[in-house]
A and B are shown apart, each in its own frame.
Chain A
Amino acid sequence: MIRAEHITKSFEGRTVLNDISATFEKGKTNLIIGRSGSGKTVFLKSLVGLHPVDSGEIYYGDTCFTRLGFRELKAIRRDMGMIFQGGALLDSSSVEENVKLPLDLFTTQSEHEKMERVNFCLERVNLHGANHLYPSELSGGMVKRVAIARAIVLNPKYLFCDEPNSGLDPMTSVVIDHLIQEITKEYNITTIINTHDMNSVMGIGEKIIYIHEGRKWWEGSSADILTSTNKELNEFVFASELAKAARAKL
């Protein structure tokens, strides 16, 4: 479980996150939703320590993450996996090298064991046989799947996804969403997904936090969204005419 308490973050005097508190549960797909520029990526990056917070605390289980030193931070990060918006695969390394890198650096496994694990993870994301391709040779969906394979290769306890289906077609988005959800259940990890894709929200959102103008505006499940009376949330979720019409029929 991850708990954020009263998180505040500013950039050059501009407050981006304003007193956000939230709890993200283990074994669930927790979603952070909000408009572009609402502060969701900053919040996600603050949770993983890429943006140090100005005030507030973040707890990973009972460990206060915001007070950790350099060494402890490095140690806890080995329990984290993150899927970045653009995949963030190392361009100069092949698919296999990208997925194997954490094993090379942090395990004492033999080459055979490492390769077994790499192939297992690649098969898990349906990329069997793509070992020797380079990121430039992959499609957007494949890049995301390699990023997932790399994120789970060390059996993380926490999985963070920053807009995992941005730039993907709706069908591939659903595949990626379901893959993340399956992995979350299979390994009982705490997954936090940052998205503004409404298909993801309704499809896999077990716990949803809506951020608006740097504040937590709403919290609930995908079922609660349909009956919510929160004006800003409804404006965001039912922005299209199609969504408005669908809601009217409910």
Chain B
Amino acid sequence: MNFLKTLGQYFILMGKVFSRPEKARIYYRRTMFEMEALGFNSIVITAIISFFIGAVITIQMAINLESPFIPPMMIGYTTRETMVLEFASTVTALILAGKVGSSIASEIGTMRITEQIDALEIMGVNSASYLILPKVAASMIFFPLLTVLSIFVGVVGGYIMCMFGGVCAPEDYLTGLYFDFRPYSITYTLLKMVVFAYIITSVSAFYGYNARGNSLEVGRASTKAVVISCIVILLMDLVMTQLMLLR
């Protein structure tokens, strides 16, 4: 019952968020600002994690695929597939749910308890749309770019591991990277990230917007936002994979 009530509240909030903006120019400016705050500022963490994960996947593949029946280029191939299909979208989304999601929930939650949202409402501003829509738009535009970055940095991490770690010949690794490449995988992973971006921002904003009381409640809202975002991301990952890959 409580779940249905929360779901209903979420959809009511989304109805407000996607109502016609007061002034498109202001929303455009805010979207640009949010792109920097939510997206641009996540480049470094995404790159660092992707680099090391790419390198680790390469080592693990080299260990596990060590067989005379498996060509060494499979190390590059499996690294690429892992990065493209799952890591660059799902794992990056989980990382961003922690970084961006908690930031959104605490920012909006603090605005709620310090009456900044009430102040916007009194001005006649649709506070839900003004605060949340630019964040949703910015993340849906920018996060797929982080996915592309993650794929690139991940495979570079694997390549560097081959060059300096000696886990496989760099030429074999490169051959594997090009082997049986399906552009549809990129479409699949980017589409997943667009959906995940929407989930992270909207769920986190929902918990922040409905925070009440004091800083303790904002902390709780922030934690809840991250946990729920992660669960919904994993659920949607399963659904989208079923729909898009098992055809």
Instruction: Name the residue on B nearest A147 (C-beta).
Output: B119
Query: B121 is contacted by which of A50, A89, A154 (Cβ under 8 Å)?
Result: A50
Is B116 in contact with A50, judged by CB distance below 8 angstroms? Answer: no
Contacts of B119 in A (CB 8 A): 82, 84, 88-90, 150
CB atoms of B22 and A50 under 8 A apart: no
CA distance A48 to B119 in the complex (A): 11
B86 → chain A closest CB, angstroms: 35
| Shortest Cβ distance from B125 into A: residue | A105
Q: Mark A55-88, 1 if CB is under 8 A from B, else 0.
A: 0000000000000000000110110111011101
Question: Which single member of B22, B26, B110, B116 contacts A89 (CB below 8 Å)?
Answer: B116
Docked CA distance A90–B112 (Å) = 11
Interface positions of B from 94 to 115, Cβ below 8 Å from A: 110-111, 114-115
B115 & A86 in contact (Cβ 8 Å cutoff):
yes
Within 8 A of A (CB), among B56-111: 110-111
Q: Which residue of B lies closest to A73 (CB)?
A: B124
Interface contact B115-A105, CB-CB below 8 Å: no
The interface residues of chain B lying within 8 Å CB-to-CB of A150 are 119
Q: How many positions in chain B have a CB within 8 Å of any CB in the partner chain?
A: 16
B118 located at the interface, meaning its Cβ lies under 8 Å from any Cβ of chain A in the complex: yes
- Min CB–CB distance B135 → chain A (angstroms): 12
Q: How far is the CB of B27 from chain A (nearest CB, A)?
A: 10
Pairwise interchain contact A82-B125, C-beta atoms closer than 8 A = no
CB distance from A132 to the nearest CB of B (A): 17
Taking a contact as CB atoms under 8 Å apart, the answer to whether A105 and B122 are in contact is: no
- A91: interface (CB < 8 Å): yes
Separation of A101 and B122 alpha carbons in the complex (Å): 13
Contact A77 B122 (CB under 8 A): yes
A98 CB to nearest chain B CB (Å): 9
Give the contacting residue for B123; candidates A45, A50, A89, A102; CB below 8 A: A102
Q: Which residue of B lies closest to A79 (CB)?
A: B124
Cα A102 to Cα B126 with chains together (Å):
12
A106 touches B121 (CB 8 A): no
A104 interface contact, C-beta 8 A: yes
Within the complex, the shortest CB–CB distance from B40 to chain A, in Å, comes to 16
A147-169 residues at the B interface, CB under 8 angstroms? 150, 154, 160
**A183 CA to B156 CA in the complex, in Å?**
64
Q: Is B247 an interface residue (CB 8 A)?
A: no
Q: Which residues of A contact B118 (CB under 8 A)?
A: 45, 50, 82, 84, 88
Q: Say if the beta carbon of B182 comes within 8 Å of chain A.
A: no
B5 at the interface (CB under 8 A from A): no
CB contact between B114 and one of A86, A105, A106 (< 8 Å): that residue: A86
Scoring B111, B122, B125 by chain A CB atoms within 10 A of each residue's CB, the highest score goes to B122
B116 adjacent to A78 (CB under 8 Å): no
CB nearest to A93 among chain B residues: B116
Q: Which of A45, A74, A101, A105 has the most CB of B within 10 A?
A: A105
CA–CA, A45 to B121, complex, Å? 11
A50 lies within 8 A of B122 (CB): yes
CB within 8 Å for A104 and B115 given contacts A48-B122, A50-B121, A77-B121: no
Chain B residues within 8 Å of A88, by CB: 114-116, 118-119
Chain A residues with Cβ under 8 A from B123's Cβ? 77-78, 101-102, 105-106, 154
Q: Are B115 and A77 in contact (CB under 8 A)?
A: no
Whether the Cβ atoms of A105 and B23 lie closer than 8 Å is yes
Contacts of A89 in B (CB 8 A): 116, 119
Chain A 87-120 residues near chain B, CB threshold 8 A: 88-91, 101-102, 104-106
Interface string of B226-239 (1 = CB under 8 A from A): 00000000000000
Contact with A along B32-55 (1 / 0, CB 8 A): 000000000000000000000000
Contact of A74 with B126 in the complex, beta carbons under 8 Å: yes
List, in ascending order, chain A residues with CB within 8 A of B125's CB.
101, 105
Please give, as numbers and ranges, the residues of chain B lying within 8 Å of A77 by CB-CB distance: 121-124
Q: How far is the CA of A88 from the CA of B26 in the complex (A)?
A: 20
Additional A-B contact list (16), CB under 8 Å, known A74-B124, A106-B124: A74-B126, A77-B122, A80-B122, A84-B115, A86-B115, A89-B116, A89-B119, A91-B110, A91-B111, A102-B124, A104-B26, A105-B22, A105-B23, A105-B26, A105-B123, A105-B124
Q: Which residues of A contact B (CB under 8 A)?
A: 45, 48, 50, 74-75, 77-78, 80-82, 84-86, 88-91, 101-102, 104-106, 150, 154, 160
10 A-B contacts (beta carbon < 8 Å): A50-B118, A50-B122, A74-B126, A77-B121, A81-B122, A84-B119, A88-B114, A89-B119, A105-B22, A154-B123
Closest 6 CB pairs of A and B: A77-B124, A88-B119, A88-B115, A82-B122, A78-B124, A84-B115
